[in-house]
Amino acid sequence: MSLAAAILLTGCATEELASPAKATRPDLDPAVDADPFPSTYKPLPSTAMALVGATILTAAGEKIDNGTVLMRDGKIEAVGANITPPADYTVVDAHGKWITPGIIDAHSHLGVYAQPSVAALQDGNEATDPNTAQVWAEHSIWPQDEGFNAVRRGGVTTLLILPGSANLFGGRSVTVKNVPAVTEQGMKFPGAPYGLKMACGENPKRVYGSKEHAPSTRMGNVAGYRAAWIKASQYARKWDAYRAGDKKGDPPERDLQLDTLAGVLDGKILVQNHCYRADEMAIMIDMSKEFGYHISAFHHASEAYKIADLLAKENICIATWAGWWGFKMESIDGIEQNAALVHKAGGCVVIHSDDENLSQRLNQEAAAAIAAGRKIGIDIPEADAIRWITANPAKMLGIADKTGSLEPGKMADVVIWNADPFSIYALTEKVFIDGALIYDRHDKRFQPKSDFILGHTGGDD
């Protein structure tokens, strides 16, 4: 033992001997510190600003020609056609441009499956047990993933970062603001609820079935979810009883996995459920009722169109693509019209990416979904379809009161496009997050690059 270590040990021992009763133990009640990795996000500097003359898709149902957006103190102040910018506002001439809310990608693995996609950065699937509700995606996020910068160029201002879908319960997801930061906490969306990633179908049964481990079938999947919900219900009851008894006696044994599941049962954590097939979604809905929770969204949901009425009735969003299908048996019936058919039935449609390339072009994927609807006689106006990548993902992430549309009081997360965003040629010109200019296509000072890109030949191109 080194001398220094010996001194340290002695020091500790002395302290404990001096005041044994004062050693503080954390209160293990999961409700006491529900936010142990708090957001340190601070909006970047901004000034009061008027974006003048653009065609505005508010994502609150309106398309405004020659409109103005006023932003002040990081918030949307006013949106409309007949607004005169106050004298002290910085005026941005946006004539001929289009303005939308910042895009929200409701299914991203940026940071947890970072670029470059080398084995050392594959941190998205804790595929060691079918239930890993105890893991949190935020503990895997590498903020230097250049993908964050790439999708910001595509207008993405908020992302839901999810664990992968290898497990029945993959772990907690986290919502981040797409700002460059050195730590994950620096991106964390203040006040956004956590999510729980669940997965139906082929992935869990393939991953564990191939390891001679349950589940290996869909019925095995469902048995696995139900067993876990039963344990979580009992766990929640124990803590309720402990709290009701003024926390006297020994607290129940704390369990990180059950904390998350109990958080769902308490309505504090939103269920984000990877599920392709209509029949499986219907089973997941019944199970949610058995245990008393609500499914926020079915992700991928390739067959949502087969139960569009049920999903609308249950107020469950679907996060899907337009063009993806056929990559596995459960996506064989994926059709381009999925979004249009669910939208037409009154459902909440979200166009998501699940992909670091597609995430840069969610506006184009939404355009393909509009076109697919028109092909079968469902004509969805752009003013409605813009919600698929803005207001609706905000709803399924539980942040619709904060962002996702251009309405007074909401965060000024705003994109200026050089053309109709549903055109393939549309490029973002300026991206604002909380009223701060965070990307500018024509100003190198506002084109952040990750540390990883720095100094590599051609990397900053």
Partner 1 sequence: MRTTIAIALAATLAFVSQALADTTAITNAHIYTMGRGSEIAAGTVVIRNGRIAAVGANVRVPSGATVVDAQGRVVTPGLFIAGTNLGAIEIDLVAPTDDTSTKNHSLSAAFDISYGIDPDSIAIPIARITGVTRALTTPGYADGDSRQFLFAGQAAVISLAAHAPTVVRPRAAMVLELGENGATRAGGARGSMITQLKADLDDVRWYARHRRGFDTGSARDLRLSKADLDALIPVVQGRMPLIVTVRRASDILEVLKLAKEQRLRVILAGAEEGWTVADDIARAHVAVLLHPTADLPASFEARAATLENAARLDAAGVTIAFANPDGGHRIREVRYNAGNAVAHGLPYRAALAALTINTARIFGEASKTGSLEPGKQADLVIWSGDPLEPLTQAEEVFIGGVSQPMDSRALDLARRYKTLGEPYPPAYKN
Q: Can you give the binding site for partner 1, defined by CB under 8 A?
A: 115-118, 146-147, 150, 202, 305-309, 323-329, 332-337, 341, 345, 356-357, 360-361, 364, 367-368, 370-372, 374-376, 378, 422-427, 452-453, 456-459, 461
Token reading at 405: 């549309």
Nearer to partner 1, 135 or 341 (CB): 341
User: How many angstroms separate the Cα of 285 from the Cα of each of 88, 136, 228, 294, 372?
Assistant: 53, 24, 16, 8, 28
> Cα–Cα–Cα angle for 125, 394, 40, nearest 5°?
70
Shortest distance in whole angstroms from residue 367 CB to partner 1: 4
Nearer to partner 1, 191 or 346 (CB): 346
Residue 22, Cβ neighbours under 10 Å: how many?
A: 8
Shortest distance in whole angstroms from residue 335 CB to partner 1: 4
Nearer to partner 1, 314 or 407 (CB): 314
CA distance 163 to 161: 7
Token reading at 145: 């993933």
Nearer to partner 1, 37 or 327 (CB): 327
Nearer to partner 1, 105 or 202 (CB): 202
**Which residues, in sequence order, are bridge partners of residue 76?**
71
Shortest distance in whole angstroms from residue 302 CB to partner 1: 10
Shortest distance in whole angstroms from residue 227 CB to partner 1: 27
Nearer to partner 1, 13 or 332 (CB): 332
Shortest distance in whole angstroms from residue 37 CB to partner 1: 27
Task: Mark 282-318 as b/e (b = at least 16 C-beta within 10 Å).
Answer: bbbbeebeebebebbbbbbbbbbbbbbebbbebebbb
CA distance 433 to 416: 12
CA distance 143 to 147: 9
Using an 8 Å Cβ cutoff, are 54 and 99 in contact? Answer: yes
Coil/strand/helix, residue 86: coil
Nearer to partner 1, 133 or 351 (CB): 351
Nearest one of 333, 335, 312, 332 to 322, comparing CA atoms: 335
CA distance 170 to 200: 11
Shortest distance in whole angstroms from residue 266 CB to partner 1: 34
Shortest distance in whole angstroms from residue 298 CB to partner 1: 16
